[in-house]
Structure 1
Amino acid sequence: MTAFFRPNVEEMTGYIPGEQPKPGTPVIKLNTNENPYPPSSQAIAALRSLDSEWLRRYPDPYANEFRQAISEVLGVPANWIIVSNGSDDLLNLVIRACAELGRNVVYPMPTYVLYRTLTQMQPAEPIEIPYGADYRLPIEELVAAQGAVTFIATPNSPSGHVVPIADLRQLATRLSGVLVIDEAYVDFADETVLPLVNEFENVIIARTLSKGYSLAGLRLGFGIANPGLLSGLFKVKDSYNIDAIACLVGAAAMRDQVYKNECAARVKASRGLLAAELKQLGFWVWNSQTNFLLVRPPDGNAEPLCLALKERGILVRYFKQPGLEDKLRITVGTDEQHQILVEALMRLV
């Protein structure tokens, strides 16, 4: 067959998202870290108020209404914000702007495997530094790699751990390239590292509305960094990368912090209850500051257990990669969903 694609595309393995059943399918979906609660009523009201003129015309290329909402909530200048089609789009913008062959991308593993996929697409060389068993940030190894881009997810997926801000500050000080701090799960964590963008010109923080705001289907994210760093990203983004609907709904959701915080508190409470129940069943459960738990079944038989749960209409996530072969990642759902999950596990482990 004729080779239509660049060699790096031919050779790479594409990112495989978690299974997405059709809407209405009777499953308990605990595999892709969606928020179990509905979006803000203010976001829904904004969607229903949409005028057809918003659909006829091109959207604001900078999504300024949404940028202004972020600025009000987080206390950062609007021109320090870039809006993206989900935070995945932002990650891609950074790699497109900064990486190429000879300008590597570095990150600790295990973490979000899309970092690898986006790097290979560029093409650039991914350098993966293993986390130790304690998930302490391997600062010396990351510094030695001196990537054009270094990704650190905190809280991290799939481990759920938070990287101390002191470690990230040390890393930013010693890196010559861009440090991307991926805070996709920050709404469920105890702290943010947002102050670092004021301290370092090479730091950008990535956020999303998919997790804490229950808007995974909207595809809306943003980055925060000094305008000098953002200038290169604006050059490579699509002209109209954010649609008018996402901008309007996202701004309303961002301004409804009371509701977002209430949902996050419910998720964190359920996370603690689920962790306790799994420990009683003999699972090893890692401490988490996210809306999921990384767990090891009593016998380490993670893949068969994942398949057995699927047969019972319960989806959890299994990663067939080094360091995760005996573990499952379980999204925090509702307490009612957890009861069904635990009852199924009582029969299986």
Structure 2
Amino acid sequence: MSYFRAAVDATTGYIPGEQPKPGTKIIKLNTNENPYPPSPDAIKVLRTIDSEWLRRYPDPYAMDFCLAVSEVLGIPADWIIVSNGSDELLNVIIRACAEGSDRPVVYPMPTYVLYKTLAALQPAKAIAINYDQSFQLPIDELVAAKGAVTFIASPNSPSGHIVPLDDLRELAQRISGILVIDEAYVDFAEYSALSLVKEFENVIILRTLSKGYSLAGLRMGFGIANPQLLSGLFKVKDSYNIDAIATLVGAAAIRDQAYKNECAAKIKKSRAKLTSNLQSLDFTVLNSHGNFVLATPPEGNAEQLYLQLKAQGILVRYFKQPGLDDKLRITVGTEQQNQTLLKALQIKVIS
């Protein structure tokens, strides 16, 4: 007899991108971390943490961080819920809203595979609707699936495309469940869907400090929605899910918009250059609004190329699944990292 629920036994579990040990000499372009350091303001706060903050339990609502978000985004503090990375909020939302086949989880594919994993663990029925080759949002199919929760990543990973606001607005109007707009990569995009939380009571926007703010190791995310929607999520989240250090460091980081925007601008410039350089090597590259690109090698030998790069100390992301198994997702690194990658690819493509 198993110790675990049937849903746990039946689920493979989410497999994150490879994380080498600290100090390993490697160019890491596989998990979409920001290649630049966090805000100096955040580091300053980290170095001056009072031990009293460690002795006591943290604020269960991370209000210092909520107030910082409120100042920056112009959203009332009670419209914000803070989480241990935005991944925790995905889990909280599914636990609060989805169940069995009557309350399914719906999402277009390809997208972030954790949506599927968390639904399976609930367990809740997962309904995947395929994007077409143009990545037009399949609104009618998503509505027909009648999800208790519908996840839309915009910008999306691994494709990098962004969903037009009018499409998101139509979807929010037509579905009966919650629409979760996952904006993990919004700091590298041209627009946000943030305004929709004021238009629709069933919309929640998710953000993270992992990408634009270079704080993937801090595990800090947040959601924005009307207080009535958040009230159910607060019942499900852990009491003290955000530690005192993350609250203070995260607040300092999000207030330093000038630094974040400067780093994001450098990444967007490098993204355009990397795309052009890959295309000159006959890669097919989708237009990306994230800090990564999805590239198809000229001969479609993505897995072989992934392994060859890994042997040279360069990690990129390979997805062994239909529709993606001929592609590589490549995080935009520093200019030096990108050029090292391109040099390695040029040798392999030529040979």
Same fold judged by TM-score > 0.5? yes
* SS of residue in 2 equivalent to 1:330: strand
2:99 counterpart residue number: 100
Residues 73-99 of structure 1: CA deviation (Å, up to 9, x unaligned): 000000000000000001111101001
Q: Return the offset for 1:178.
A: 0.3
Counterparts of 1:177 and 1:200, CA distance in 2: 11
* SS of residue in 1 equivalent to 2:152: strand
Q: Return the offset for 1:333.
A: 0.2
Q: Return the offset for 1:227.
A: 0.3
Q: Return the offset for 1:229.
A: 0.2
> Unaligned stretches of 5+ in structure 1?
none
Map 1:156-175; keep pairs closer than 5 Å. Answer: 156-175=156-175
1:67 counterpart residue number: 66
Taking only the aligned residue pairs, the percentage that are identical comes to: 72
Q: Return the offset for 1:325.
A: 1.0
Counterparts of 1:162 and 1:170, CA distance in 2: 15
Counterparts of 2:305 and 2:262, CA distance in 1: 33
Aligned amino acid, residue 26 of structure 1:
K
Residues 126-167 of structure 1: CA deviation (Å, up to 9, x unaligned): 000001011100000000001000000000000000000000
* SS of residue in 2 equivalent to 1:25: coil
Counterparts of 1:127 and 1:42, CA distance in 2: 43
Aligned amino acid, residue 125 of structure 1:
K
Counterparts of 1:261 and 1:45, CA distance in 2: 19
Counterparts of 1:210 and 1:280, CA distance in 2: 31
Counterparts of 1:171 and 1:323, CA distance in 2: 25
* SS of residue in 2 equivalent to 1:305: helix
Counterparts of 1:121 and 1:242, CA distance in 2: 23
Map 1:113-262; keep pairs closer than 5 Å. Answer: 113-262=113-262
Counterparts of 2:67 and 2:325, CA distance in 1: 44
Counterparts of 2:218 and 2:194, CA distance in 1: 24
1:23 counterpart residue number: 22
Counterparts of 1:82 and 1:343, CA distance in 2: 44
Aligned amino acid, residue 175 of structure 2:
L
1:34 counterpart residue number: 33
1:52 counterpart residue number: 51
Q: Return the offset for 1:250.
A: 0.1
* SS of residue in 2 equivalent to 1:316: strand
Please state if 1:11 is matched with 2:14: no
* SS of residue in 2 equivalent to 1:306: helix
Runs of 4+ in 1 over 4 A off after TM superposition: none
Residues 59-81 of structure 1: CA deviation (Å, up to 9, x unaligned): 00000000000000000000000
Aligned amino acid, residue 58 of structure 1:
Y
* SS of residue in 2 equivalent to 1:104: strand
2:293 counterpart residue number: 293
Counterparts of 1:318 and 1:157, CA distance in 2: 13
Q: Return the offset for 1:336.
A: 0.3
2:88 counterpart residue number: 89
Q: Return the offset for 1:13.
A: 1.0
Counterparts of 1:346 and 1:236, CA distance in 2: 50
* SS of residue in 2 equivalent to 1:125: strand
Q: Return the offset for 1:322.
A: 1.4
Q: Return the offset for 1:172.
A: 0.3
Aligned amino acid, residue 289 of structure 1:
H
Counterparts of 1:218 and 1:79, CA distance in 2: 23
Q: Return the offset for 1:177.
A: 0.2
Counterparts of 1:236 and 1:207, CA distance in 2: 19
What is the Cα-based RMSD across aligned positions, in Å?
0.4
Counterparts of 1:177 and 1:48, CA distance in 2: 44
Residues 230-268 of structure 1: CA deviation (Å, up to 9, x unaligned): 000000000000000000000000000000000000000
Q: Return the offset for 1:199.
A: 0.3
> Unaligned stretches of 5+ in structure 2?
none
Aligned amino acid, residue 11 of structure 1:
A
Aligned amino acid, residue 342 of structure 1:
L
Q: Give the structure-2-normalised TM-score.
A: 0.99
Q: Return the offset for 1:34.
A: 0.1
Aligned amino acid, residue 68 of structure 2:
A
Counterparts of 2:325 and 2:237, CA distance in 1: 37
Aligned amino acid, residue 191 of structure 2:
E
Aligned amino acid, residue 212 of structure 2:
G
